[in-house]
Amino acid sequence: MAALPDQTRADMSADIQRTPDCPGGVTKAELRAAINAADDWADANAAAYNAALPAAARTALTARQKARVLEFVIRKRWEAA
Amino acid sequence: MTTSRASLTPFSAELPTSNAPQLIVVNGRPCLGFDATTQETAYWSLMAPQGVDPSPLTISIAYMMASATTGGIALGVSVEAITDGDATDLDATTSFDTINTGTVASVPGTAGYIDVLTITLTNNDSLAAADYLRISVARVVADAADTATGDLYLLTADLRDDV
């Protein structure tokens, strides 16, 4: 999957700022830069994530399903943090 | 001498049908929550108090931030003053004067701490006592100074003059 469109990144930044736990230690521009960096990182490391999956899942799952697995892992790690 | 002329509270605000700040209660304190990315506006209507003199007219706005501990904010305040007999079709038009913008370079370093921004209402629509007065307050999210993330909670505001 390619990096997210600029408008999508902007929408994400707006959405995050509407949550009760909106990051408060950065400015709006810095928050947007963090979103850009996170998406760029995800884009650059997609192949590495795919390679890290066991062969069974790597070959059986679709890209969307693999992304969903990663989403669940990140969410649980975030909730535990 | 500075004189308080009107107190504007969250529960007395008039909220438009679109892009209104959220009326919420935080720790028992009524607040208007102004979004950081969508410009939202609240209005107050009143009769201009007797003795008011708009030279100068100021508004002091007490606020706190929901989560931000860095960055700045920008608030825009507009005045609409309509005198008895004015040819203004109230049910079809508005006649707000040019916006008065005030900024804060750095919000309090702890979310929930109070800060007060005072804006001189240079553009006051030639306000006079007994005018039908409307005041609008908006968070100017497009202003370069509005860099703080998350909601701005307006706690109360005080309209003042110096006569």
- The SS3 of residue A43 is helix
Average pLDDT estimate for A40-67: 96
Residues of B in contact with A22 (CB under 8 A): 36, 66-68, 149-151
Domain boundaries, chain B: 2-162
To the nearest whole Å, the CA of A52 is away from the closest chain B CA by 36
Which CATH number is associated with domain B2-162?
2.60.120.260
Q: Which token pair is B120?
A: 């001189």
Tens of pLDDT, residue by residue over B94-112, are 999 999 999 999 999 999 9
Contacts of A13 in chain B (CB under 8 A): 37
Give residue A14's identity as a one-letter amino acid code.
Answer: A
pLDDT digits (tens, 9 = 90+) for B125-134: 999 999 999 9
Please report, for residues A47, A66, B87, B95, the alpha-carbon distance to residue B83 in angstroms, rounded to integers and kept in the order given. Answer: 69, 66, 9, 12
Out of B37, B38, B149, whose CB is closest to A26?
B149
- Chain B residues touching residue A28 (CB < 8 angstroms): 36-37, 71, 146-149
β-bridge pairing B73-82 and B100-104: antiparallel
Q: Which run of H or of E encompasses A63?
A: helix A63-80
Please give the Cα distance from B143 to A28 (Å, whole number).
12
Q: pLDDT at position B48, please?
A: 95
pLDDT value of residue B60: 97
How does the average pLDDT of chain B come out, rounded? 96
- Tell me which of B113, B149, B152, B153 to substitute to probe the interface with A (most A C-beta atoms closer than 10 Å): B149
Q: Return the pLDDT at B15.
A: 98
Q: How confident is the model at residue B1 (pLDDT cuts 50, 70, 90)?
A: confident
Burial class of residue B109, CB neighbours in 10 A (0-12, 13-18, 19+): exposed
ipTM: 0.81
Output the pTM of the full model.
0.91
Residue B23 has pLDDT above 80, yes or no: yes
Least confident of A27-31, B12-16, B51-55, B69-73: B51-55
